[in-house]
Structure 1
């Protein structure tokens, strides 16, 4: 019989992976800034058109602007945290689903335990 089990994928922080993560976080932050500016532009444009009720329009856009602002702050926090982490640290990257074969007589505690895949610079280093 096969079961589906969640497996955590962690990556070991190296100079190369740190640089990739920094690039990813800076790109995300820049994207949020662009979206924020675009939303402000659209709000002004729609306010001038006077086709929509100003209070409802403003409420909708304020929610969207706040989302982008919070996401940008989250990227800033991730960048700060990444600078503080020493090389060799393990970072949780994602979770994936795996099929696990179970048979009569297998040790249940060994099967149900959390499994982890460790990656270093894109190469699997270890499976725990």
Structure 2
């Protein structure tokens, strides 16, 4: 029988991965700031076009702008923290799913347990089947 197992991906921080994260987050921050500017422009344009709906338009656009602004603030925090983290730190980099084959007699791991994949500079360093399991690859 085949089942789907979740693996948490952790990135080991190196100079290369630090630069990659920095570039990625700065690009995302820039994009979000552009979106905020565009939303401000569209808000004003729509308010002029539909003066009777100004309040509603303002509320809707302000909510979207606030959401993006909060994301910008969060990215700026992450960028600041990136400078403080020592090399070798593990950073959460998302989750992936894997199809696993199980058979009668196999050891069962709690369904809430996730496996862990450790990556360094784009190379898989180790795979742990669950948080209690042994390293199955180095």
Pick 1 or 2: higher relative contact order, CA cutoff 8 A, min separation 6.
1
Q: Is 1:15 aligned with 2:32? A: no
Change (3 A) 1:104 1:68: same
Shift of 1:111: 8.8
The two structures, once aligned, show a CA RMSD in angstroms of 1.9
1:43 matched to which residue of 2? Answer: 43
Please identify, of 40-49 and 78-87, the stretch whose mean Cα deviation from structure 2 is larger: 40-49
CA, structure 1 residues 110+67, in 2 after alignment: closer, same or farther (shift >3 Å)? closer
Partners of 1:106 and 1:114 in 2: how far apart? 17
Following TM superposition, the consecutive aligned residue runs of length 4 or more in structure 1 with deviations greater than 4 angstroms are 110-113
Q: Which deviates more from structure 2 when the two are superposed, residues 93-102 or residues 111-120?
A: 111-120
> TM (normalized to structure 1)?
0.90
Aligned residue in 1 for 2:104: 104
Count residues in correspondence.
128
Q: What corresponds to 2:86 in structure 1?
A: 86
Query: Shift of the alpha carbon at 1:29?
Result: 0.8
Instruction: State how far apart, in whole Å, the 2-side matches of 1:22 and 1:87 are.
Output: 14
- Whose helix proportion is higher, 1 or 2? 1
Distance in 1 between the 2:3 and 2:51 partners? 56
C-alpha deviation, 1:53, in angstroms: 1.1
5+ unaligned residues in a row in structure 1: which ranges?
A: none
- Tell me which residue corresponds to 1:27: 27
CA contact (8 A) 1:46 1:52 kept: no
TM-score by length of 2: 0.84
